[in-house]
Amino acid sequence: MSKPRNPGQARRVMAVALISAATSLAASPAEAPFLAENAAAMKKMMAAMAIEPSGDVDADFVAMMAPHHQGAIDMAQAELRYGHNEQLRRLAQEIIVEQTQEIAAMRLALAPSLRPATSTPEPREGGAR
């Protein structure tokens, strides 16, 4: 067995394994599709969050948080498909909207035109208006 590439990888693998085990031990046959969908969302999220650091804190933050938020969206969609509690279904709808907006905001914040300047721009000839 190979050694994990980064310290958190072993924990992520264990979490996915536990979720997969829970899926096979569903409380009822009706719950199995929900648990399977959640396990798939978690597996996808954990894999996408396992990045190699780029040296850019902001880019790495977005690279990890965007899949984290997408995982929340995927799980909320499963709640909407299989859940029955109206309060939780409303919360799931809010999660989808808010997390989608936050993913867009994070990606937009990384756009080169929105990054803070590293130096003060030189004034134009003839003065600025």
For residue range 17-30, what is the model confidence (pLDDT) as tens digits? 665 565 555 568 88
Distance CA 107, CA 117 (A): 18
Question: CB of 63 within 8 A of CB of 54?
Answer: yes
Q: Is the pLDDT of residue 6 over 70?
A: no
Question: Model pTM greater than 0.85?
Answer: no
pLDDT at 129: 47
Q: Is the pLDDT of residue 2 over 60?
A: no
DSSP secondary structure string, 43-88? HHHHHHH-PPP-S-HHHHHHHHHHHHHHHHHHHHHHHHHH---HHH
If phi > 0 it is left, if psi is from -120 to 50 it is alpha, else beta; for residue 123 that is: beta
pLDDT at 20: 58
Per-residue pLDDT, averaged over 80-91, amounts to: 97
Tens digit of each residue's pLDDT (9 = 90 or more) over 99-125: 999 999 999 999 876 666 665 555 556
pLDDT at 12: 58
Tens digit of each residue's pLDDT (9 = 90 or more) over 87-98: 999 999 999 999
Q: Is the pLDDT of residue 84 over 60?
A: yes
Distance CA 74, CA 36 (A): 12
Question: CB of 92 within 8 A of CB of 79?
Answer: yes
Q: What angle do CA 112, 118, 123 make, to 5 degrees?
A: 100
DSSP 3-state of 14: helix
